Amino acid sequence: MDLTAGEMVLAAVVVTMGATLQGTIGFGFAMIAAPVLVLLDPRFVPGPLILAGLPFMVLLGWRERRSVDYRSIGVPLAGQLAGIVLALIVLGFSDVRILSRIVAGAVLLGAGLSIFGLRLRPDKKSFLFGGILAGFMGTTSAIPGPALALIHQHVSPARMRGTLAPFFVVGSLVGLVGLVWTGQMGREELLMGLCLVPAGVAGWVISALTAPRVSEPTMRPAVLVFACLAALVLLYRSL
């Protein structure tokens, strides 16, 4: 890797912050990490960031296994797989600047939907659409959370964490296989992702302490502001 020690430390810090946030309220890992990582090196997204978050997602799903709503998994999971296939096709014809715009747009979309509190009925159509959008966003920009979180936004934080974790695990695994298969993730990207795995695990450890204590309404505004500012900087640079 041609990244400096300082850049890797900063990358690890934002990954830890993102993992801590998601382990606390159920989503936000990539909304925090992706914009900063792309500014450091566009190769961080999507492959290395997905890989860095995979062990964290597995650990989070295990920790919150008693809160999983299994009835709302099947349909969005099918949609997620379709969205991943669509994303892999798009990635085959895009360049770094286009990918940066996708990341920025995904973050702004997710933040905007959260700010305005759009409420979707938790039915099969919403689950299918949310799954497709999550699969596409997760594979192109490593940000699958906003689409699924929007559908589940009125459940408890524990249910949010437990129900979304399986989607992130499956989406990460399938997305990584697809990225490797299509040549979008090579040895260099693999090493970049592995170097950030400990940072994700550190976020999981910290979130075990913050989840029962930190108020979700208090954290969310700060997260949305940070995510929007980072996305706007990224969008400006891509133009």
User: Mind listing the pLDDT tens digit for each residue in 217-234?
Assistant: 765 676 677 778 777 876
User: Where does the pLDDT of residue 209 fall: very low under 50, low under 70, confident under 90, or very high at 90 and above?
Assistant: very high
Three-state helix/strand/coil letters over the chain: CCCCHHHHHHHHHHHHHHHHHHHHHCCCHHHHHHHHHHHHCHHHCCHHHHHHHHHHHHHHHHHCHHHCCHHHCHHHHHHHHHHHHHHHHHHCCCCHHHHHHHHHHHHHHHHHHHHHCCCCCCCHHHHHHHHHHHHHHHHHHCCCHHHHHHHCCCCCHHHHHHHHHHHHHHHHHHHHHHHHHCCCCCHHHHHHHHHHHHHHHHHHHHHHHHCCCCCHHHHHHHHHHHHHHHHHHHHHHHC
Q: Lowest mean pLDDT: which of 31-45, 49-63, 133-147?
A: 133-147
Mean residue pLDDT of the chain comes to 84
* 48, 196 contact by CB (below 8 A): yes
Q: What is the mean pLDDT of residues 74-93?
A: 86
b/e per residue, 133-167, with b = 16+ CB within 10 A? bbbbbbbbbbbbbbbbbbbbbebebbbbbbbbbbb
pLDDT beyond 80 at 180: yes
Q: Lowest mean pLDDT: which of 27-31, 44-48, 132-136, 147-151?
A: 147-151
Query: What does the pLDDT read at residue 117?
Result: 65
Q: What is the mean pLDDT of residues 44-68?
A: 93
User: Where does the pLDDT of residue 237 fall: very low under 50, low under 70, confident under 90, or very high at 90 and above?
Assistant: low
Radius of gyration of the chain (CA): 16
pLDDT beyond 90 at 118: no
Query: What does the pLDDT read at residue 216?
Result: 63
Comparing 12 with 119, the larger pLDDT belongs to 12
Query: What does the pLDDT read at residue 203?
Result: 97
Comparing 87 with 198, the larger pLDDT belongs to 198
What is the pTM for the complete model shown?
A: 0.83
Domain extents in the chain: 5-238
